[in-house]
Amino acid sequence: MQIHQLKRSAKLKKGKYIGRGGKRGTTSGRGTKGQMARSGHKLFPEMRDRIKKLPKLRGYHFKSIATKAVPINLSVLEKNFENGAIVNTAELVAKGLDRGSSNKNTQFKILAEGELTKKLTVEGVKMSAAAKVKIEQAGGTVK
């Protein structure tokens, strides 16, 4: 027996070869075209698009610690106070006109909305210039 007459006991496992060589075809299992077919492809995270669409808030922002005055119209004073009554912060809170404010130092500001016919004495409460004129026209006093 010569060496050229020897035969294998098992078949030779051969890959499927193509003209260019390699085990896969032209697109190498990546499909065709597009971002995912390119080398070094990387998709941006989906959240990035949502974040980029949010408006930018410029400058320094903070929540004001100043307490805002609760507005009280003259028509409310007309309804809740008798003629000759004294209107001050304690009385307004006692009548429940602070609109459920949890602040102990609630400030009020009287505005000129509505008509006033009663003589009221207003003490230690902020008010608009027009409201002051209307109170004094009705015969009341502002301290």
pLDDT score of 30 more than 90: no
Q: What pLDDT shows up at residue 137?
A: 93
Q: Is residue 123 part of a domain?
A: yes
Q: Give the SS3 label for residue 87.
A: strand
Return the residue matching tokens 């697109």. 27
Residues 103/68, Cβ–Cβ less than 8 Å: no
Owning domain of residue 135: 70-142
Q: Is 89 a member of any domain?
A: yes
pLDDT digits (tens, 9 = 90+) for 93-107: 888 888 767 666 788
The answer to whether residue 122 sits within a structural domain is: yes
Using CA atoms, how far apart are residues 78 and 121, in angstroms rounded to an integer? 12
> 57 in a domain, yes or no?
no
Q: Are strands 126-127 and 70-73 parallel, antiparallel or unpaired?
A: unpaired
Check if the beta carbon of residue 75 is closer than 8 Å to that of residue 115. Answer: yes
Count of structural domains within the chain: 1
Look at residue 142 and tell me whether its pLDDT is greater than 90: yes
Residue 95 sits in a domain of what CATH number? 3.100.10.10
Mean pLDDT of 41-59: 87
Least-confidence region, from 1-15, 17-31, 81-95, 118-132: 17-31
Has residue 21 been placed in a domain? no
Q: Tell me which of 21-30, 49-58, 70-79, 129-138 is least confident.
A: 21-30
Quick one: tokens of 45? 């995270």
